[in-house]
Amino acid sequence: MRNDNKKSCPRCNHYGPIEQDFGYRIMNRRHVRPQSWCRACRSRAKHLLVSLPPKQTISR
Ligand SMILES: [Zn+2]
């Protein structure tokens, strides 16, 4: 397996190396999955989530 695999962002169609532009989500020691959205989209989505009113957050 090559280490420089690339993918495109389903949100903004940005295409680039996963490690650099997307990053990985580490579930545990053996489970690492690439982020589906690029870093820019994730930071935007994070901003949107933060701006939601507290009532709409998922309760545990
Ligand atoms: Zn994107």
Neighbours of ion ligand 1 (CB under 5 A): 9, 11-12, 14, 38, 41
CA distance 55 to 60: 13
Domain contains 56: no
- Ligand 1 center–CA 8 separation, angstroms: 8
Domain contains 40: yes
Q: Which domain holds residue 33?
A: 6-51
Task: Specify the length of the chain in residues.
Answer: 60
Indicate the number of domains in the chain.
1
pLDDT of residue 47: 79
This prediction has a pTM of 0.65
21, 19, 25, 27: which is closest to 1 by C-alpha?
A: 19
- Ligand 1 center–CA 48 separation, angstroms: 14
CA distance 22 to 4: 12
- At 26-36, the pLDDT tens digits run 889 899 999 99
Domain contains 35: yes
> Three-state SS for 5?
coil
- Ligand 1 center–CA 37 separation, angstroms: 5
- At 9-58, the pLDDT tens digits run 999 999 999 999 999 998 898 999 999 999 999 999 887 777 666 665 66
CA distance 9 to 6: 10
pLDDT of residue 4: 63
